[in-house]
Structure 1
Amino acid sequence: MAEVLPIDAVFIRTDLEKVIDRMGTKRSSIKDIPVGTLVKEVGAISNCLNTGDIQDQVLHLTDGSTTRIEVFPMEEGGEIKGAVGIISRSVHPIIRHFNVISEIVEDVSGEGALTWITDTEKNLAFNASEGVPLPDSIKVGNKPEAFALQTMKKGKKDVLDIGAEMYGVPLKIWAYPLVNEDSQVCGSFGVIMPRRNAERVKRMALNNEQSIGEIAAVVEEISATAAGISESEAKLFDMIMEINNISEEINAITEFVNEVAAETKLLGLNAAIEAARAGDAGRGFGVVADEIRKLSEQSRSTVKAIKESTDQIQNLLGVAKESSENTAKSSEEQAAALEEVAATLSELSASAEKLKRISERI
């Protein structure tokens, strides 16, 4: 019956001197206390026979296992004739299922993994994927690595990042203490994973962040230039309008001068007629009349030339005004477009920062 029990255990029976019978379960790995062992060599059995009390001892071994010895006295006719005992051994479930756990970890890790397990004194086992660097010191039987000892000392999970300078590949290490049913640390379990992809993502994020920053600076400079151009165009437009107003005033003055010239010519003509009537006495007056007519003609010619020039200026001002309005409109559109670009760059910068933080957590 004992053989089919799904535990790692041995059942023993003794007389007052030695172990006389022993039976182990199919899963039993216990080699201690064989038949013939003297009862005085086993404290729990010796105490049970001497006191008649049930003995229950628990031994936490350095290999992460726990051995429990329970001994019960056998009485016959009111006298102790011997004892029966159960020696059971339990192993931490992570130690027992280490290979299965290692395979699962390896399958879910994108770049492979190295898993290890230790008791409090030595490395018990490890599994490493191809391509994952294996430190020379991680060997079965060797003293646990510093990070394993540290997590056992602290009694809580530890996470480490190691740069590529040590093993040629950036690594991330997770170390966990193993705790038995009595809440005592009995070993450690850990995973080492390469972080090549995470480092690539981090570098990409940093490069993107730097590039976005440079582009944003250029956009800001262009935006400031566009704002300056827009302001200059506004001032230029005001100057064009002022010149146009002055040109219109000049046209008004030339019209007035033209009218004066016409009246002067008429006055000179009348003076010439009167000089002709006066004969020799009005000859000097006639000379003056001729000069007045010449001055009138010159004035009219000058006014015409000024009018043509101001008309040409107004035409050019019209073209400049239209060009200025178009430039101002383009500057406003450019400024609006740059604001959209700046907003997009801000979003990209935030995404790059988020990507960097994610890569650090991988």
Structure 2
Amino acid sequence: MSNKIIGLDVLEAFTKVTPYINHFINRDIFITVMDTEKVIIHQPAKTFSLGTKNGDLVGEGWVGYKAMKEKMTKSLVVGKELLGIPYEAVAEPVFDENDRVIGCIVVGASTEDTVRLQEIIGQFSEAFDQVGSGIQELASGSQHLAEIGEHLSSASHHTRENVEKSDDIMQMIQRIADQSKLLGLNAAIEAARAGESGRGFTVVAEEMRRLSEQSKTSSKNVNEILRNIMMDIDNITNQALETSTISEEQSSSTQEIAAATQELKAQLDELTQFVHKL
């Protein structure tokens, strides 16, 4: 394999430069160079320590031990439960010219910032999900309110038509009242001509005139009430139409916000994938 590290001289070169590598790398890393039995040199990280010392025997649980035994690159991810700081390490075995393992180089780095960034992204993602859900509910409510406004406008229109029909009825009542008054007046004239024998009919004629006047007055009052109802219906219709328009605009706006939120959520997901690659 062309990517193998081959040569004792390479292992010795890493041993020499290990104390200095940490000065040139921005990340908080540790480096361990070992042969098949013991640690040749260990440069600890700046913020945490594995407790490894130069000369320590290589343990079977070490990632470097596994890399040398399996003759392949091995990686290890450790949570913060062990040392208080999460870290990851990569072990690369070193071979001689006869393809025998002669040592291993282990490089590890703190992943605390990466983990924290993932947590923040997760919190943002959850918040965006909640916001998106709320926006969808708001959009649905606005749409429902717009539909109610349309139904109310339609109902107001039908009510107006019925009131207009009622107005026709009231005009008919007005004409009947006028005719009743005229009949009552004629009846009173005829009763006067009849003299004493028409006295009882006079009472009936007077009652007809009185009922006619009451009907006429009631008709006027009803007409006034109907006019007020018509004005209220017009106001309700206008407000319903305005409510419907505003609700549709709100629904459209919330849908745009929802789309923007989804776009931000997608960018967060992409950022999450990028962080995983770090």
Common fold: TM-score over 0.5: yes
> In 2, Cα distance between the equivalents of 1:104 and 1:249?
96
Asked whether the equivalents of residues 113 and 194 of structure 1 are also in contact (C-alpha less than 8 Å), the reply is: yes
Where do 1:295-310 residues align within 5 Å?
295-310=211-226
Give the drift of 1:258: 0.8
Shift of 1:91: 2.7
Which letter does structure 2 place at the counterpart of 1:327? Answer: T
Matches of 2:179 and 2:212 in 1, distance apart?
A: 8
Higher share in strand: 1
Which stretch of the first structure deviates more once superposed, 167-176 or 139-148?
139-148
Q: How far apart are 1:257 and its partner, in Å?
A: 0.9
Instruction: Provide the residue aligned with 1:238 in structure 2.
Output: 154
Contact 2:128 2:261 in 1 (8 A): yes
Specify the alignment match of 1:157 in structure 2: 73
**Equivalent of residue 128 in structure 1, options 24, 44, 47:** 44
Q: Distance in 1 between matches of 2:103 and 2:159?
A: 93
CA distance in 1, matches of 2:70, 2:147: 67
Cα RMSD (Å) of the superposition?
2.4
Say yes or no: does 1:343 pair with 2:259: yes
Contact 1:201 1:355 in 2 (8 A): no
1:286 aligns with 2:202: yes
- 2:130 pairs with 1:218: no
**Residue ranges of structure 2 left out of the alignment (5+ in a row):** none
Please tell me the residue identity of whatever aligns with 2:79: G
Distance 2:141 2:58 in 1: 64
Question: Quick check: 1:143 aligned with 2:57?
Answer: yes
Q: Distance in 1 between matches of 2:71 and 2:248?
A: 65
Q: Which residue of 2 aligns with 1:77?
A: none
Q: Which residue of 1 aligns with 2:9?
A: 92
Contact 2:8 2:102 (C-alpha < 8 Å) held by counterparts: no
* Per-residue deviation, 1:355: 2.6
- Give the fraction of aligned pairs with identical amino acids, expressed as a percent: 26
Give ranges in structure 1 of 5+ residues lacking alignment.
Answer: 1-63, 66-89
2:112 to 193, 196, 211: 196
- Provide the rounded CA distance (Å) in 2 between the counterparts of 1:240 and 1:154: 83
Show CA shifts across 1:205-264 (max 9, x none).
Answer: 111122222222333333333333333333333332222222111111101111121122
Contact (CA 8 Å) 2:15, 2:40: kept in 1 or not? no
Runs of 4+ in 1 over 4 A off after TM superposition: none
> Residue 322 of structure 1: SS of its match in structure 2?
helix
Cα shift readout 1:36-75 (whole Å, capped 9, x = no counterpart)? xxxxxxxxxxxxxxxxxxxxxxxxxxxx99xxxxxxxxxx
Q: Under a length normalisation based on structure 1, what TM-score does the superposition of the two structures give? A: 0.68
TM-score normalised by length of structure 2? 0.87
- Alignment check: 8 A CA contact 2:92 2:105 kept: yes
Which letter does structure 1 place at the counterpart of 2:214?
Q
Given candidates 162, 168, 192, the residue that maps to 2:84 is: 168
Q: Which amino acid aligns with 2:93?
A: P
Partner SS for 2:53? coil
Name the CA distance, whole Å, in 2 between partners of 1:99 and 1:308.
Answer: 106
Q: Deviations over 1:255-277 (max 9, x none)?
A: 11111211222222223233333
Query: Which has a greater percent of helix?
Result: 2
**Secondary structure at the residue paired with 1:92?**
helix
Deviation of the 1:108 alpha carbon: 3.0
- Supply the distance in 1 between the matched residues of 2:248 and 2:153 (Cα, whole angstroms): 15
- Kindly state the Cα deviation for residue 313 of structure 1 after the two structures are TM-superposed: 0.8
Counterpart CA distance in 2 for 1:225 and 1:156 is 60
The one-letter amino acid of 1:140's match is N
Q: Relative contact order (alpha carbons < 8 A, sep ≥ 6): 1 or 2 greater?
A: 2
Counterpart-to-counterpart distance in 2, 1:281 and 1:224: 80
Structure 1 position 101, deviation (Å): 6.4
| Partner Cα distance (1:250, 1:189) in 2 | 98
* Residues 1:286 and 1:208: Cα distance change in structure 2 (over 3 Å): same
**Other structure's SS at 1:182 match:** coil
